[in-house]
Structure 1
Amino acid sequence: MEQPVLNVSGLETHFFTDDGEIPAVDSVDFHVNKGEVLGIVGESGSGKSVTSLSIMQLISAPGKVVGGEISYKGENLLLKSEKQMRKIRGNEIGMIFQEPMTSLNPVFKIGNQLVEGIRIHKKWNKKDSWAHAIKFLKLVGLPRAEELMNEYPHQLSGGMRQRVMIAMAMACEPDVLIADEPTTALDVTIQAQILELMKRLNNETNTSIIMITHDLGVVAEMCDRIVVMYSGKIVEQGTTKEIFESPKHPYTIGLIESVPDVRSRKERLYSIPGNVPKPGSIKTGCHFAPRCKFAFDKCFEETPELMDAGQGQLARCWLHEDKEKAALLEKVES
């Protein structure tokens, strides 16, 4: 069996604050195969973005990766120096950041920022790098690409800046592309273009993609497998088909039920009651138990591990210890 291009094992990222040590990412395990699109989904505050920044070694104080291993092509990235990571970032592992406003340098022109990364990683001359950058600006659907190269970030709209960031991440054609909410600031028509572009990159260059999003429509369209995160932990893993057809964790069921259905008319859309707990606030038991309608005594007393939930899926839920309790989930799905 082919070795995963990226393997995250036991990842723990904590933030050290005046209120104490806060575990933002708590013992996270997943892998990405060559050419695979993996979706990481969950509500805001579930640890998705911190996981991606941990992979890129971009966690800054007061945060720190305190445990685990991030293996890229068999080498642990956590043992790499900053100099070594600079060669990997952008060239071998690219990232589309969530905030285009803060990711682009306001005092440099778009062209200079695009060309810099291409020249550093590909060792091309300025002319070839400039042409390559224009090609990718056109690929992400930006009009008058040649003119944009000579403009500053503040002269572009939010959606245009986001597309510049996507072009920047894709320009060096990395082996792994981490996309953190890549379509959030974009119009629906542009979203479709960007997803189509990422699909084409995946198909033509066999690029592995980690798609971080809360949009289940994007996940259904793009991803081969799904990792569902809640309060810093993975609560379910499985193929996209199996998770949408038969979710095995109450949280995943709630996320899917929350998606509006244009085929039915409801007075009120479904929402999961309560909020994601503050990281580290729940010391024992299942983190989702306070919001779960299936929770029983054990859920509040013992923390479940990821367990086999059937059909190749893993779920962090005590219901799967008992067939009768697990059957309650099946009734909700139907």
Structure 2
Amino acid sequence: MDAPVLDVKGLKTYFLTDDGEVPAVDDIDFHVKRGEVLGIVGESGCGKSVTSLSVMGLVPSPPGKIVGGEILYKGEDLTKANDKRMRQIRGNDIAMIFQEPMTSLNPVYKIGNQLIEAIRLHNPWSKKQAWERAVDIMTQVGLPRAEELMDSYPHQLSGGMRQRVMIAMAMVCNPEVLIADEPTTALDVTIQAQILDLMKRLNTETQTSIIMITHDLGVVSEMCERIIVMYAGKVVEEANVETIFKDPKHPYTVGLIQSVPDMRSKKQRLYSIPGTVPKPGSIKQGCQFAPRCEHAFDRCFAETPTLEKTDNGSRVRCWLHHS
């Protein structure tokens, strides 16, 4: 059994607000092995992005703070790493593709300069070597006229091209783990498919582990081997892709899958889960999903369920499936 490249145990990330400490990520566990593609899904506000920022050591402090748990990268606990060590790891060992490339790329620097800076930060290379590597990685991610684009500014590129530049920047130092936070959200369907194909190819060729954060279950079914479903800062279900789609256990996962449009169905209206995601920290006891769950009973409002293994091999946080 391969040891996980990244192993997150009991992670708690809280934000200090006027109402006190608010748990954005509350005691979550997951791991990713070498070459594996792991999906993290859930509605907006469930803690997916805060989880990724916690792993990268980029939670804004104040007001955010990791208050508990471990983030083990090859056995090293990143929650105890100092700023210098995190700068060595970030981009070199663990890289991230952010949701909106226009906010991640510096608008006043040329694309080439930004890539060369990322390369030379982690490698003792000359400017010429870094330039050649940058052109090579831009060609690999399918950007035409790579040498010309090195001289362009971010605003001169289309959304799809900027996203490819972000992927190139993330992949340029051959990281072990790539975190992709909604990498296809703002792109049209054709470009989305190209970006996903590109990430799949990079994963196959370089054995990079990918954590794909999304609310799009179509992307998950296409890309991932294993999925964790998050709700209100907690993992509510974890299973392989086939199990999640064929035999979902948690009522929230069932609701997410039912709300996906199906071309074979003649339904007039799409299913939607009633209510909204609760404000973090507003539900002090019981299951976070209970107020929206049609199967909830007294115990759901009184006690918080733990993540337990079920008969189909998945792990689920729900009293309906506890013996």
Question: TM-score, normalization: structure 1?
Answer: 0.94
State the match for 2:157 in structure 1: 156
**Structure 2 residue aligned with 1:175:** 176
Instruction: Look up the match of 1:251.
Output: 252
C-alpha distance in 1 between matches for 2:154 and 2:50: 25
Deviation at 1:176, TM superposition (A): 0.5
CA distance in 2, matches of 1:177, 1:296: 40
**Paired positions, count:** 322
8 Å Cα contact 1:162-1:185 kept in structure 2: no
Moved >6 Å (runs of 4+)? none
Give CA deviations for 1:102-150 in whole Å, capped at 9, x if unaligned. Answer: 1111111111111111122132222222122222223333333222211
- Checking the alignment, whether the CA contact within 8 Å between 1:97 and 1:103 is kept in structure 2 is yes
Aligned-partner Cα distance in 2 for 1:91–1:156: 25
Find out whether 1:31 has 2:9 as its counterpart. no
- Specify the alignment match of 2:226 in structure 1: 225
* Cross-structure match for 1:132: 133
Query: 1:301 offset after TM fit, Å?
Result: 0.7
Give the letter aligned to residue 201 of structure 1.
Answer: L
Task: Map 1:150-299 onto structure 2 (within 5 A).
Answer: 150-299=151-300
Deviation (angstroms), 1:248: 0.8
Gaps of 5+ in 2: none
Deviates more, 1:136-145 or 1:284-293: 136-145
Question: Which digits, 9 at most, give the CA deviation of each residue in 1:133-171, with x for residues without a partner?
Answer: 222223333333222211212222333222211111111
Residues 179, 161 of structure 1: CA spacing in aligned structure 2 closer, same or farther, 3 A cutoff? Answer: same
Cα deviation 1:41-83 (Å, max 9, x = unaligned): 0000000000000000001121111110000001101111100
Q: Secondary structure, in 3 states, of the residue corresponding to 1:146?
A: helix
2:2 pairs with 1:2 = yes
Secondary structure at the aligned position of 1:310 is classed as coil
1:243-264: CA deviation from partner (whole Å, max 9, x where unpaired): 1110010000001111100112
- Give the deviation of 1:92 after TM superposition: 0.5
Whether contact under 8 Å (1:285, 1:304) holds in the other structure is yes
Tell me the secondary structure at the aligned position of residue 300 of structure 1: helix
Aligned equivalents of 1:319, 1:131: Cα separation in 2 = 57
Distance in 2 (alpha carbons) for counterparts of 1:153 and 1:55: 27
Rounded to whole Å, the distance in 1 between the matches of 2:248 and 2:131 is 47
Task: Please give the secondary structure, in 2, of the residue aligned with 1:24.
Answer: strand
Q: CA deviation at 1:179?
A: 0.5
| Greater mean alpha carbon deviation, residues 155-164 or residues 113-122 | 155-164
Query: Aligned residue for 1:73?
Result: 74
Tell me the amino acid that sits aligned with residue 24 of structure 2: A
**Alpha-carbon offset, residue 100 of structure 1:** 1.2
Report what 1:63 is aligned to: 64
In structure 2, distance between residues paired with 1:205 and 1:139: 12
Say what the alpha-carbon RMSD is for the aligned residues.
1.2
- Is contact 1:138–1:145 with CA below 8 Å preserved after alignment? yes
Q: Is the partner of 2:96 in helix, strand or coil?
A: strand
Per the TM alignment, residue 289 of structure 1 is displaced from its structure 2 partner at its CA by 0.5
| Distance in 2 separating the partners of 1:230 and 1:317 | 12
For residues 109 and 283 of structure 1, what CA distance do their matches in structure 2 show?
A: 49
1:182-219, CA deviations, whole angstroms, 9 ceiling, x for partnerless residues?
11122212211211111111111111110001111111
